[in-house]
């Protein structure tokens, strides 16, 4: 019976991996010509792709990057622009798609991301925006589908989701309404189908189901009802068919049927 009841409930929705919001370590786009033996690179410097296309343009002081550095895509479009101070990322940064559209932008301070950031799709549509603090997302965050519909919104604290969050289907209908603590569900979690109907209503604590939980059929009828403790069924449960008729009842204790 236990496997039958649990099959009616969806698994805890995974937290999507956030999209890239920071320029990666500069890639080697060409074979660089080393400075003469015993000397450090100093002054303006450029490197090129095998076909002759500019790959990098920057400035060095005593062998360390200083000021604005630029990297280029093989098609000649600017790929990345980043400020450096004493070989450490510092100041505004921008990344671009191969078609020239802005990919992302933000700021570094002493090698760490700090301040507002934006991420864009290849067509220029805004994908996400938020704020970094000490190299972690912190504060309000929003993301969008490629066609412009809001996808998610909520708050980060030191890189982790916290407090109320909402996610949306591509058609604009609410998909998830939840509360997070330390990137885990904590409190009431509701999921909805793309027609706006409730799919499940559950309670969590520390990422595990805790308390009263219900799931529903597509027609809105109650599907299952049960109680959890520490992520395991604990207490009475009920299973219904799509017409609302009670099909099965029982009791669980610490995840085992009684």
> Based on the domain organization, do 182 and 80 belong to the same domain?
no
- Span 15-25, mean pLDDT? 45
Give the pLDDT of residue 189.
96
CA atoms of 109 and 252, how far apart (whole Å):
54
Q: Is the pLDDT of residue 29 over 60?
A: no
CA atoms of 113 and 139, how far apart (whole Å):
14
Residue 62 lies in a domain: yes
- Span 151-170, mean pLDDT? 96
Domains of the chain: total: 2
> Based on the domain organization, do 220 and 150 belong to the same domain?
yes
Which DSSP category does 5 fall into? H
Residue 130 lies in a domain: no
- Span 25-49, mean pLDDT? 69
Give the pLDDT of residue 144.
97
Residue 30 lies in a domain: yes
Residue 154 lies in a domain: yes
> Based on the domain organization, do 170 and 238 belong to the same domain?
yes
pLDDT of 181-201, one tens digit each?
A: 999 999 999 999 999 999 999
Question: Where does a domain end: 81, 115, 149?
Answer: 115
> Based on the domain organization, do 177 and 209 belong to the same domain?
yes
Question: Where does a domain end: 115, 146, 169?
Answer: 115
> Based on the domain organization, do 81 and 185 belong to the same domain?
no
> Based on the domain organization, do 142 and 109 belong to the same domain?
no
Domain that residue 81 falls in = 12-115
Residue 1 lies in a domain: no
> Based on the domain organization, do 143 and 242 belong to the same domain?
yes
Q: The CATH number of the domain where 208 resides is what?
A: 3.90.930.1
- The confidence band for 255, taking pLDDT boundaries of 50, 70 and 90, is confident
Q: Are 171 and 148 contacting, i.e. CB atoms less than 8 angstroms apart?
A: no
- The confidence band for 33, taking pLDDT boundaries of 50, 70 and 90, is low
Torsion angle, alpha carbons of 241, 246, 250, 254, to 10: 50
Q: Are 250 and 237 contacting, i.e. CB atoms less than 8 angstroms apart?
A: yes
Give the pLDDT of residue 39.
81
């Amino acid at each position: 019976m236990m496997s039958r009841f649990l099959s009616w409930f969806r698994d805890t929705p995974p937290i999507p991996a956030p999209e890239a919001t920071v320029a990666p370590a500069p890639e080697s786009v060409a074979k660089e010509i080393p400075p003469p033996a015993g000397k450090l690179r100093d002054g303006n410097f450029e490197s090129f792709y095998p076909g002759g296309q500019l790959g990098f343009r920057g400035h060095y002081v005593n062998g360390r990057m200083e000021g604005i550095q630029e990297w280029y895509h093989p098609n000649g479009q600017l790929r990345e622009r980043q400020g450096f101070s004493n070989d450490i990322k510092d100041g505004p940064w921008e990344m671009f798609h191969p078609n020239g559209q802005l990919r992302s932008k933000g700021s570094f301070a002493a090698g760490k991301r700090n301040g507002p950031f934006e991420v864009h799709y290849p067509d220029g549509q805004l994908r996400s925006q938020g704020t970094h603090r000490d190299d972690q997302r912190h504060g309000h965050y929003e993301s969008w589908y490629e066609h412009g519909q809001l996808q998610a919104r909520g708050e980060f604290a030191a890189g982790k989701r916290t407090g109320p969050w909402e996610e949306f289907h591509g058609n604009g209908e609410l998909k998830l309404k939840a509360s997070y603590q330390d990137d885990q569900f904590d409190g009431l979690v509701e999921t909805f189908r793309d027609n706006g109907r409730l799919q499940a209503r559950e309670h969590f604590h520390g990422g595990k189901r805790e308390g009263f939980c219900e799931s529903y059929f597509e027609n809105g009828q109650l599907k299952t009802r049960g109680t959890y403790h520490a992520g395991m069924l604990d207490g009475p449960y009920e299973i219904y068919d799509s017409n609302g008729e009670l099909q099965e009842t029982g009791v669980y204790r610490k995840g085992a049927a009684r």
